[in-house]
Amino acid sequence: TVQHKDANCLLSEHAAPHRRFDAVDVDPFGSPVPYLDSAIRALRDNGLLAVTATDLAPLCGVHPRACIRKYGGKPMRSEYCHELAVRLLVGCLAAVAAKHDIGIRVIFSHSTDHYIRVYVQIAYGAQKADVAVKSLGYILHCFNCLHRENAKSLFAKEIACPECGSKMDYAGPLWLEKILDKEFCELMAKENMHRTLRNSGRIAKLLSLAKEEAEAPATYYVLDKISDKLALPVPAVNAVLQVLRENGFQAFSTHFNSRGIRTDASAFAMQRLVREIAIV
């Protein structure tokens, strides 16, 4: 039945075990944070929670204090800020769910147009919540040499880059584990093939990229950023992907940025290979 009432009131009315939903979709204008607690409590075990956030200015670091207040994590204005936005939102979800002894597993997420969207499956139990909390941490970034790394905690006020010695910035606490499930992406791709949807082509492209990058390392390099640093022309994405793989690195395109590449290569290795391609 269709009801017109405050979302938190409606969801709270369904917090009792016998009244919970199989799926809840939180799609507000702006931040979804005010609805997360009641949405999680209104879900059955193994239920699906879909959440949209359109307040990308705070999440992408334009208004960092607002992000810290709402999402409990510090953003960072890097070239992969939209991925950080997803990870900050999931990290917030994990923290809220853990208060109720509920864990989460991310099965899909994406950044499209001017919003981000995440899909998580919840699991009741203190142990499941503990596992989710252990997935939180920080991403450190050097704006001088573009090195980045994950960290479970921060002990020093200033962290020196291990590659060039410059002071590193950070984002977090946020979700460090996978933000895409490859099997789920494959199932959605098959479903999309059997449906007649207005945006089926766009959906197919998104799922194809998501499926490939599901197993890739966190964060990505943007070729324009590297080329600007080296004062060289921007190489073709496919050319860089090929050279990376030929040199034994993992390399994937990403839906977050058409000029972005996920790889386990270091920032210096990326710069060396981009330079080699440019001077050939």
For residue 158, name the pLDDT band (cuts at 50, 70, 90): confident
pLDDT band for 1, please (50, 70, 90 cuts). Answer: confident
- Residue 197 is predicted with a pLDDT of 86
How far is the CA of 109 from the CAs of 49, 93, 132, 254, in angstroms? 12, 13, 17, 12
CA distances from 104 to 39, 253, 258 (A): 13, 26, 29
Same domain, 158 and 251: no
Confidence of residue 3 (pLDDT cuts 50, 70, 90): confident
Pick from 81, 30, 86, 80: nearest CA to 60? 81
169, 275: one domain: no
In this structure, what token pair is assigned to residue 80? 């992969």
Q: Residue 220 phi/psi, 5° resolution?
A: -145, 160
Do 266 and 151 share a structural domain? no
The CATH code of the domain that includes 251 is: 3.30.56.70
- Distance (Å, whole) CA 148 – CA 218: 10
Q: Are residues 154 and 48 in the same domain?
A: yes
Specify whether 174 is located in the same domain as 222: no
The answer to whether residues 223 and 166 belong to one domain is no
Asked if 52 and 32 touch (Cβ cutoff 8 Å), the reply is yes
Q: Are residues 144 and 261 in the same domain?
A: no
Backbone angles phi and psi of 276, in degrees to 5: -65, -40
The domain boundary, picked from 163, 178, 193, lies at 178
Are residues 171 and 237 part of one domain? Answer: no
Asked whether residue 213 is assigned to any structural domain, the reply reads no
Q: How far is the CA of 99 from the CAs of 22, 44, 68, 179, 271, in angstroms?
A: 20, 16, 18, 21, 43
Query: Is 222 found in the same domain as 93?
Result: no
Claim to verify: residue 12 and residue 131 sit in the same structural domain: yes
What is the Cα 168 distance to its own chain's centre?
A: 21
Give CA–CA dist 20/43, Å, rounded: 5
- Tokens representing residue 42 in the block: 């209104």
Within a 13 Å sphere around the CA of 275, how many CA atoms are in the beta-carbon half? Answer: 9
Query: Which pLDDT score, from 0 to 100, does residue 137 have?
Result: 98
Q: 70 with 15, same domain? A: yes
Q: What mean pLDDT comes out for the span 265-269?
A: 97
Domain boundary among 148, 178, 208: 178
> Helix 126-133 and helix 81-98: axis angle, to 10°?
150
Q: Which residues contact 177 (CB under 8 A, 6 or more apart)?
A: 106, 135
Flag whether 203 is in a domain. no
Whether 119 is in a domain gets the answer yes
CB-CB contact of 79 with 262 (8 Å): no
Question: What residues does 21 pair with on adjacent strands?
Answer: 43
Position 183 in a domain? no
**Are both 260 and 138 inside the same structural domain?**
no
- What's the pTM? 0.96
- Structure tokens of 30? 């702006």
pLDDT of residue 179: 99
d(CA 271, CA 145): 9
> Among residues 94, 55, 101, which one has the least CA distance to residue 75?
55
Is the omega angle on the peptide bond into residue 75 within 30 degrees of 0, that is, cis? no
49 occurs within a structural domain: yes
**For residue range 184-228, what is the model confidence (pLDDT) as tens digits?**
999 999 999 998 888 999 999 999 999 999 999 999 999 999 999
Task: Give the integer Cα–Cα distance in Å for 46 and 49.
Answer: 10
Structure tokens given for 253: 């395109």
Number of H helices, E strands in the chain: 11, 11
Q: Which domain holds residue 77?
A: 7-178
Report which secondary-structure segment, H or E, holds 145. none
272 occurs within a structural domain: yes
Q: Write the CATH number for 73.
A: 3.40.50.150
Count the domains in the chain. Answer: 2
Residue 231 counted as domain residue: yes
The pLDDT confidence band at residue 122, using thresholds 50, 70 and 90, is very high
What rounded mean pLDDT belongs to the chain? Answer: 96
Residue 71 lies in a domain: yes
